[in-house]
């Protein structure tokens, strides 16, 4: 799946200790969460979207400590 603002592939990030997460453009949130829901992936969405230096708003989808980053990345990569 491609990030609509950067045209780069969406990536599951694993930095930190809270578990894997995805940063998505706010306008793509529903599309990504529908995809995760359809695959039975558990997640939570941060309450606040942010915009840095006037860039489009982004929001974080947390996959939790038990989240399988490789499996979710494979799901994202399967969407073109």
Candidates 73, 64, 27, 67; CA nearest to 45 is 64
Longest pairwise C-alpha distance within the chain: 35
Q: What is the pLDDT of residue 78?
A: 96
Structural domain includes residue 19: yes
Structural domain includes residue 7: no
Q: What is the pLDDT of residue 36?
A: 98
Give the residues of the chain that fall short of pLDDT 70: none
Count structural domains, the chain: 1
Q: What percent of the chain has pLDDT over 90?
A: 95
In CATH, what number is assigned to the domain containing residue 40?
3.30.70
Structural domain includes residue 1: no
Q: What is the pLDDT of residue 10?
A: 98
Q: What is the pLDDT of residue 17?
A: 85
Structural domain includes residue 5: no
Q: What is the pLDDT of residue 80?
A: 77
Structural domain includes residue 16: yes
User: Which residues constitute the domain of residue 20?
Assistant: 12-77
Q: What is the pLDDT of residue 16?
A: 85
């Amino acid at each position: 799946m491609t990030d609509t603002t950067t045209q780069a592939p969406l990536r599951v990030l694993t930095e930190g200790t809270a578990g894997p997460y995805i940063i998505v453009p706010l306008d793509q949130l529903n599309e990504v969460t529908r995809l995760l829901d359809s695959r039975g992936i558990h997640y939570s969405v941060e309450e606040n979207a942010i915009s840095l230096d006037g860039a489009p708003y982004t929001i974080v989808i947390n996959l939790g400590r038990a989240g399988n980053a490789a499996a979710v990345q494979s799901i994202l990569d399967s969407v073109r």
